[in-house]
């Protein structure tokens, strides 16, 4: 039985000159539980030492509905202040455009201010990949594109990405941008399979965007399944994981990686041992039969 190919050792982010590992590490949960800069540094080291070079944060990470906006970026900034040499070992990704208590703001004034604030909190001169976190329906894509092109021209950002955009929103922004978008960041996991059939990944392949998968374990539900559907998906993953002697979560990451769009799962764990284990997903190969069995479990019905 032929197997789907393993990922390359490193991938280009879209058509940009940035190259990254086949997995990323995410810092959505970094500023939780009163984590100190020393503890945060341990996690950054765990990711880098596991060969994970793409580190994803956002200005809103740390916000708990009342306070904490900017806290995850600031914590990473503290890590970088203590160990400036870490900066050159990572491709640093952040996001902006969600402004509590407003839902979204992508006006020129707000985006410029948000990018400046992120640079300051992170204590860097340039963010390698800057992504619009969620689309602002009230912002014209032409204006957004002009603002982002200017930020790249000013050297504040190297490459651009979108997150949670529909295919039409991505196409409209790309139409006005003076450079290719490098990435798109939808939610993708064995529990979140919409993008396999709704055109998002097809568009990514057509435009040469690298998809970054947020919540690749469904926010942890792959490890701790709750519903009957979660359990069916877990069982389909276990059917592959058990004979290979790997964990279900590693099977889940590798299942996402096996898609031909070259998806990079963003590992969300804030546990050093789990981050290291996640990186082993690059060695797991899937057969078409097993891959589709997970998809069918997630669909809850047979494919036509």
The C-alpha atoms of residue 114 and residue 263 are separated, in whole angstroms, by: 27
Contact residue for ligand NAP among 52, 263, 268, 281 (CB under 6 A)? 268
How many residues bind ligand NAP (CB under 6 A)? The answer is 26
Binding mask 133-172 for ligand NAP (x = CB under 6 A): x-----------------------------xx--------
Identified binder of ligand NAP from the candidate list 21, 94, 106, 269, rule CB under 6 A? 269
**Which pair of tokens denotes residue 200?**
């998002």
For 132, residues 6+ apart whose C-beta sits below 8 A from its C-beta are: 95, 96, 97, 106, 144, 148, 161, 162, 163, 165, 173
The whole-angstrom separation of Cα 115 and Cα 120 is 9
26 interacts with ligand NAP by CB under 6 A: yes
Q: Which one of residues 22, 96, 216, 262 is an interface residue with ligand NAP (CB under 6 A)? A: 216
Query: Which of residues 124 and 132 has its CB atom nearest to ligand NAP in the complex?
Result: 132
For the chain, strand residue ranges (E) read 11-12, 19-20, 24-26, 54-56, 91-96, 127-132, 157-163, 183-185, 210-213, 264-267
* 61 catalytic residue (yes or no): yes
**CA neighbours closer than 13 Å in the CB half-sphere of residue 146:** 7
Q: Which residues does 183 contact at the CB level (< 8 Å), separation at least 6?
A: 13, 14, 93, 129, 131, 159, 161, 162, 209, 210, 211, 212
Distance CA 2, CA 174 (A): 37
DSSP 243-270: HHT--HHHHHHHHHHTSTTT-EEEE---
Stretch that binds ligand NAP, among 15-23, 196-204, 219-227, 294-302 (CB under 6 A): 219-227
Decide if residue 106 touches ligand NAP (CB under 6 A).
Answer: no
56 forms part of the interface with ligand NAP (CB under 6 A): yes
Q: What is the closest distance, in whole angstroms, from the C-beta atom of residue 238 to ligand NAP in the complex?
A: 13
Q: Is 223 in the site for ligand NAP (CB under 6 A)?
A: yes
Q: In this complex, which beta carbon is closest to ligand NAP, that of residue 56 or of residue 78?
A: 56
* Residue 254 binds ligand NAP (CB under 6 A): no
User: Which of 170, 115, 173, 165 is CA-nearest to residue 144?
Assistant: 173
From candidates 274, 285, 287, 295, binder to ligand NAP by CB under 6 A? 274
Rounded least distance, CB 153 to ligand NAP, Å? 25
> Closest distance between ligand NAP and the C-beta of residue 9, in Å?
22
Q: Is 215 a residue that touches ligand NAP (CB under 6 A)?
A: yes
Q: Which is nearer to ligand NAP, 18 or 288 (CB)?
A: 18
Structure tokens at 71: 């806290």
Least distance CB 253 / ligand NAP (angstroms): 8
Distance CA 277, CA 283 (A): 11
Smallest separation, CB 1 to ligand NAP (Å): 28
212 in Cβ contact with 56 (< 8 Å): yes
185 lies in the site for ligand NAP, by CB under 6 A: yes
Point out which residues bind ligand NAP (CB under 6 A).
Answer: 26-29, 56, 133, 163-164, 185, 214-220, 223-224, 249, 266-271, 274
Catalytic residue annotation: 61
């Amino acid at each position: 039985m032929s197997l789907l190919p393993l990922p390359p050792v490193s991938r280009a982010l879209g058509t940009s000159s940035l190259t990254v590992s086949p997995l990323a590490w995410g810092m959505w949960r970094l500023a939780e539980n009163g984590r100190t800069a020393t503890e945060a540094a341990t996690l950054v080291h765990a990711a880098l030492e596991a060969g994970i070079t793409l580190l994803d944060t956002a200005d809103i990470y740390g916000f708990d509905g009342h306070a904490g906006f900017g806290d995850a970026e600031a914590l990473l900034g503290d890590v970088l202040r203590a160990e400036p040499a870490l900066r050159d070992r990572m491709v640093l990704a952040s996001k902006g455009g969600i402004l509590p208590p407003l839902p979204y703001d992508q006006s020129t004034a707000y985006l410029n201010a948000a990018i400046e604030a992120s640079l300051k909190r992170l204590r860097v001169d340039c963010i390698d990949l800057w992504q619009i976190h969620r689309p602002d329906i009230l912002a014209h894509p032409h204006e957004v594109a002009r603002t982002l092109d200017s930020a790249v021209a000013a050297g504040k950002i190297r490459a651009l990405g979108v997150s949670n955009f529909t295919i039409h929103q991505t196409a409209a922004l790309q139409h006005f941008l003076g450079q290719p978008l490098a990435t798109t960041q939808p939610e993708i996991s064995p529990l979140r399979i919409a993008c396999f059939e709704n055109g998002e990944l097809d568009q990514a392949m057509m435009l040469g965007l690298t998809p970054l998968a947020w919540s690749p374990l469904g926010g942890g539900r792959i490890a701790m399944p709750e519903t009957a559907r979660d359990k069916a998906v877990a069982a389909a993953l276990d059917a592959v994981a058990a004979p290979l002697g790997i964990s279900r979560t590693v099977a889940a990451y590798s299942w996402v990686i096996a898609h031909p769009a070259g998806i990079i799962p963003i590992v969300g764990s804030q546990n050093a041992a789990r981050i290291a284990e996640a990186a082993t997903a690059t060695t797991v190969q899937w057969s078409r039969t097993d891959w589709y069995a997970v998809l069918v479990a997630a669909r809850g019905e047979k494919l036509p």
